[in-house]
Amino acid sequence: MQQMDFDVDSGVWVLVADGEKALFFENTGTRQTPVFKVIREMEQDNPPSREQGTDTPGRMSDSGVNQRSAMDETDWHRLAEERFAKDAADLLYRYAHKQRFKQIVLCAAPRVLGELRKELHSEVRTRVIGEVPKTLTNHPVDQIERILSS
C-alpha cells in the first residue's frame, strides 16, 4: 500500500469517485478514528461504449484513387467519464465558493483523477491536500476510512 503524506483531520472533505459514481464525505471524527458522513452522492449510468454507439466507424477518402481509411470509433464511455468529472468539479466549486469545506482529499480512478485535475477551479485546487489514485467507490465506508487513516 502506498504511503499517504496528508492527514484526514476532522472537517476535511473526501471525494471518492470513478467515472460513474461520486461520494462526497466529511470527516466528523478524528484523524485516528475517522467517521465519514455522506454529504452528497452523484451517479450516472455509463455503460460500455459498445452499448452506447449505434453506427460502425466512419470512413474518409484518402488522397489516392479509390482509397478510404477507417476513422476511430468514438469512445462514448470515456466521454461520459470526462463529462462526469467536469460535473463533479463544478459541484466542488459551488461548495468551495459557499465555504462548505476548507480542505479536501481526492480519491478517484487514475483516469478520472486526471480529468478532475484538469477541471478543478483554482478556488478548489488550493484546498486539495491529497490525492489517492485508486478506485474506492465500491468499498464500504469503514474500509475507505481505514485506508485514508493509515
Residue 76 is assigned to a structural domain of this protein: yes
Q: How far is Cα 23 from Cα 25, in angstroms, rounded to an integer? A: 6
Residue 23 lies in a domain: yes
User: What is the mean predicted confidence (pLDDT) over 41-63?
Assistant: 60
Cell matching residue 134: 485508486
Domain-embedded: residue 119: yes
Residue 42, C-beta contacts closer than 8 angstroms, at least 6 positions apart: 21, 22, 24, 84, 87, 88, 91
What letter would DSSP give residue 10?
T
CATH number at residue 144: 3.30.420.60
Angle between helices 110-119 and 76-97 in degrees, nearest 10: 50
Any domain includes 2 = no
Please write the tens of the pLDDT for every residue from 106-136.
Answer: 999 999 999 999 999 999 999 999 999 999 9
- The answer to whether 130 touches 6, Cβ cutoff 8 Å, is yes
Residue 140 lies in a domain: yes
pTM of the model: 0.78
Whether residue 98 is contained in a domain is answered as yes
In a domain, 22, yes or no: yes
pLDDT on residue 36: 97
Residue 115's region, left for phi above 0, alpha for psi from -120 to 50, else beta, is alpha
Q: Which pLDDT score is estimated for 142? A: 95
The predicted pLDDT at position 59 comes to: 54
Residue 129 lies in a domain: yes
Q: What span, in angstroms and rounded, lies between the C-alpha atoms of 6 and 129?
A: 6
All residues at 6 or more sequence positions from 109 whose CB lies less than 8 Å from its CB, including other chains: 17, 18, 19, 133, 134, 135
Counting the structural domains of the chain, the total is 1
Is pLDDT at 65 greater than 50 in this prediction? yes
Per the structure, the complete domain to which residue 115 belongs is given by 13-45+72-149
Nearest to 46 by CA among 90, 86, 92, 82: 82
